[in-house]
Amino acid sequence: MSIRNWPDGERPREKLLERGAHALSDAELLAVFLGSGRRGQSAVDLGRVLLADAGGLKALLETSAGRPGIGAVAWCRLLGALELGRRYLDAELRSGETLSDPATSARYLKSRLGGYPYEVFGCLFLDNRHRVIAFEELFRGTIDGASVHPREVVRRCLSHNAAAVILAHNHPSGVAEPSAADRAITLRLRDAMELIDVRLLDHFVIGDGHPTSLAQRGWI
């Protein structure tokens, strides 16, 4: 049955307007962006198939070139929505408020780094009141002592006149357990930043669940 024949309260767009986006399932949210289904399939049915084939929403949206059943226009809408979400959180953090809650930092960093299919290392630069100055992605690839250069992190700290910094990188595997290399580069960066009086507050490892804080583990 076409979505046009569904009761008003069950159509994804009408449901979104009436109850809010949080009331929609993943498949219903996808249907809003897809706009239409295929022969014999409503947009919601197509959304369910796409989610099942990909293995979930995260895996679907991490596919760089889209998937069969998603046209170029709908795929651009999805990628645009993801970027809007990232920029919304970025604007929220740049509002000048002090970062007093580690959970806020973790949520923001996960939104920025959690969707990459490869490792990305970034820095959140803060002033002496722990207000956000900037966030930068500095390195890509395997995160180890050879690919993360303390001198570049120091250079960016000086450029931003930062008083403190929070590090973060993602694990595309989804497992947020810090490796021995993660711990080693954290200590190297901490020591390098101490030389310029910049405090390393934390290093978050981003995976599928809640980000892991090296500071909470007592490793900083």
Average pLDDT, the chain: 84
List the one residue out of 31, 38, 42 whose CA is nearest residue 78.
Answer: 31
Segment holding 125, helix H or strand E: strand 120-126
Q: Regarding predicted confidence, which is higher, 155 or 70?
A: 155
CA torsion through residues 33, 39, 45, 49, sign: negative
Inter-residue contact 121 to 138 (CB < 8 Å): yes
**What tens digit of pLDDT does each residue of 36-66 get?**
777 777 888 888 888 888 788 777 777 656 6
**pLDDT higher than threshold 60 for residue 95:** no
**pLDDT higher than threshold 60 for residue 1:** no
List the one residue out of 123, 116, 122, 108 whose CA is nearest residue 171.
Answer: 116
Does the pTM surpass 0.75? The reply is: no
Domain locations in the chain?
3-86, 97-213
Backbone angles phi, psi at 80, to 5 degrees: -65, -40
**pLDDT higher than threshold 80 for residue 97:** no
Q: Which fold has domain 97-213?
A: Cytidine Deaminase; domain 2 (3.40.140)
**What tens digit of pLDDT does each residue of 143-192 get?**
554 488 999 999 999 999 999 999 999 998 889 999 999 999 999 999 99
